[in-house]
Each structure stands twice: as C-alpha cells, then as structure tokens.
Structure 1
C-alpha cells in the first residue's frame, strides 16, 4: 500500500511532458472573420440582424454516409446499427 501511495505521489509531482500541438483545422461554425467591420458596436449604436438566406440543410449539410456501420455495443448509440430484436 505504501508503494502505491509513493507511486501516486511521484506521478502527481512529476513535471508534465510537453505535447505537440496539432494545427487547427480550418472551418467550423464560427465566422472566418469578425462580423463587426468597424469594431465592436458601442452602446446606443443601431445593430441590424438579418436572417440567413440559406435553408438549414444548406447551412449545415449532413455528413456523407459511411460504407459500413458496425453493430451497436451496449451503451453505444452513434455510428452503429441496432441489432434486430434488441
């Protein structure tokens, strides 16, 4: 038990290893540029919001279907097919 406690203490006090950061992938839901051309609006400025002209299907297209979906395991609900009779 003392060896376990000593090992845990050593792991908690040891310096963390530097991890190589992967470059961020372009894209995503955030705008590529700031939506405020002249900076953040000040109190009292008139701000007009315009709805998007795209449909939800155009704005957020569904991903392409996979070639194969494995059977779901217990507790899994995404990217799998439910087995018959369950």
Structure 2
C-alpha cells in the first residue's frame, strides 16, 4: 500500500514539473504583439507620466454616463444563420426553430 502511495506521489510531482516546462515553452504574446490583439484594455496609461497622484491631492471619481449598450454595442446581425452542427452553439440556429 505504501508503495502505491509513493508511486502516486512521484507521478504527481513529475507531472507538475512536466506541465511547468511545457507551459514555459508555449509562446505568449510580447507587449508589442499584445497591443495588436485588441480587447477592452485601455490604450493610454491611467496617470500621465505613469505615476500615481501625489499624496494630499483630491481625486474625483466621475461615473460613466453611457449605458452598457452604448459602451459595448452588440454585433450587427448576419444575413442568415445556418443550421447548427453537432456541438456547435454560436453563430447558428437550432433545428425546427
């Protein structure tokens, strides 16, 4: 029984080490490539100069006046939607509908 527990522990340790080395080999985008990907990240730094405001400065937070629909508009509808294939759920319509 102890031998079985020892073998399981060794499997976990070697599996975790293999996962770390394979994750390091995967190519992640650099900062230059990440800016080309897009998304909701801000295009400019929050503070000018990249530093926080000095202590004692009054910081005023202003709520956004846009609705979520205005801030993140939905995509335009397609001309037609094909029938969904097995395992497909996006960009298609269900049979019989």
Common fold by TM > 0.5: yes
1:80 and 2:86 matched: no
Residues 21-60 of structure 1: pairs in structure 2 closer than 5 A: 24=36, 28-41=39-52, 47-60=59-72
List gaps (5 residues or longer) in structure 1.
1-20
Distance in 2 separating the partners of 1:33 and 1:43: 20
Larger deviation, residues 45-54 vs 30-39: 45-54
State TM-score, norm by structure 1: 0.55
Q: How many residues align?
A: 63
List gaps (5 residues or longer) in structure 2.
1-32
State TM-score, norm by structure 2: 0.50
CA RMSD of superposed structures (Å)? 2.9
Higher helix share: 2
